[in-house]
Amino acid sequence: MHVNITAVMKKFILNLEVTENIRLNDSYTLIKLTFGTSLLPEMMPGQFAEIRIDNSSTTYLRRPISINYIDRQRNEIWFLIQIVGNGTRYLAQSKQGDVINAILPLGTGFSMPPSTSDKLLLIGGGVGTAPMLFLGEQLRKTGSNPTFLLGAKSKKDLLQLDNFRTYGNVYITTEDGSYGEKGYVTQHPILNKIRFDRIYTCGPRPMMMAIAKYAKANNVFCEVSLENTMACGIGICLCCVEDTIDGHLCICKEGPVFNINKLLWQI
């Protein structure tokens, strides 16, 4: 029987301390947190945390945020935050020394390739680049050579490029053509030049659907990380369900990472 290791991983409720909050641009901030002298638990790329928003009187529910990176040397976890509403705005205002409560690691992670010689393409769009950094680092650490394809609206929205370049070749598209190829990630010529064995992706749903369509047409293994709206984050409230070949599944528990063959997307 196949057991998904991320589904049985122990979950923790941790008080993490902010070590750094780096404002990347108008809409994005990178928050680094430590667990002090205790080691952070094991986590897999694609998993996420449910973060409690303590200072907002309008944000009752925790907010799901992907694990962006784990710096084991500094015992730090990174979260890349796009400011869209009150919850993320309050998070973005956190300062060094503040304590943030997080439940983690939640959900399933991306599956690792069977061979380190597999050609791997990691595609991230917008804040969907967040889990791709951790995935790229883990793939590189285990001997693979990932390629990244990152999409953004404009040059100013491209994030963590130097970090990505540490782990593999980086290709870029911007919608306005201010950096890299002009257009969407699915229009990048790399998709016609290299025959990839696996594609991993996270980003806006239309982007992931277009990538799933390409992967299906070319018979390429493909995993997507869904970002459906969530409440509990632990499979109780049923507000995050996705229609799959196995029925309605909670993406917070059975996902957020799914093989495209499992999803009933009309593509």
**Tokens, residue 86:** 């009150």
- 39 CB-near residues (< 8 Å, 6+ apart): 75
Subset of 68-97 contacting ligand FES (CB under 6 A): none
Q: Assess 194 for contact with ligand FES (CB under 6 A).
A: no
For residues 78-97, which are near ligand FAD according to CB under 6 A? 80-82, 84-88
Q: Give start and end residues of each alpha helix (H) in 16-160.
A: 86-92, 130-141
State the minimum distance, in angstroms, from the CB of residue 178 to ligand FAD.
22
Sign of CA dihedral 171, 105, 213, 145: positive
Report if residue 135 touches ligand FAD, rule: CB under 6 A: no
Residue 139 sits in the site that holds ligand FAD (CB under 6 A): no
Q: How far apart are CA 113 and CA 109, in angstroms?
A: 13
119 or 253: CB nearest ligand FAD: 253
Task: Determine the Cα–Cα distance for residues 208 and 132; give it in Å rounded to an integer.
Answer: 14
On the 0-12 / 13-18 / 19+ scale of CB atoms within 10 A, 183 is middle
Q: Candidates 67, 207, 226, 232: give the one binding ligand FES (CB under 6 A).
A: 232
Candidates 14-22, 139-147, 183-191, 231-239 — which segment interacts with ligand FES by CB under 6 A?
A: 231-239
Q: Which is nearer to ligand FES, 165 or 248 (CB)?
A: 248
Sole binder of ligand FES in the list 235, 262, 265, 267 (CB under 6 A): 235
Site string for ligand FAD, 1-40 (x = CB under 6 A): ----------------------------------------
What is the edge-to-edge ordering of all strands in the sheet holding 221-225? 181-182, 169-174, 147-152, 120-125, 198-202, 221-225, 257-259
The correct pick among 70, 103, 121, 127 for binding ligand FAD (CB under 6 A) is 127
CB-CB neighbours of 145 under 10 Å: 14
Window 211-230: contact mask with ligand FES (x via CB under 6 A): -------------------x
Q: What is d(CA 182, CA 188) in angstroms, rounded to the nearest whole number?
A: 8
Q: Which stretch binds ligand FES (CB under 6 A): 14-22, 30-38, 117-125, 237-245?
A: 237-245
Q: Restricting to residues 156-185, which ones interact with ligand FES according to CB under 6 A? A: none
HSE on the CB side for 29, CA within 13 Å? 19
Which of 109, 113, 233, 256 contacts ligand FES by CB under 6 A?
233
Q: Taking the CB of residue 137, how many other CB atoms lie within 10 A of it?
A: 20
Q: Which two tokens stand for residue 44?
A: 């897999």
Distance CA(225)–CA(239), nearest Å, equals 17
- Total residues binding ligand FAD (CB under 6 A): 21
Among 65, 122, 132, 212, binds ligand FAD (CB under 6 A): 65
Q: What are the residues binding ligand FES (CB under 6 A)? A: 230-233, 235-240, 250, 252
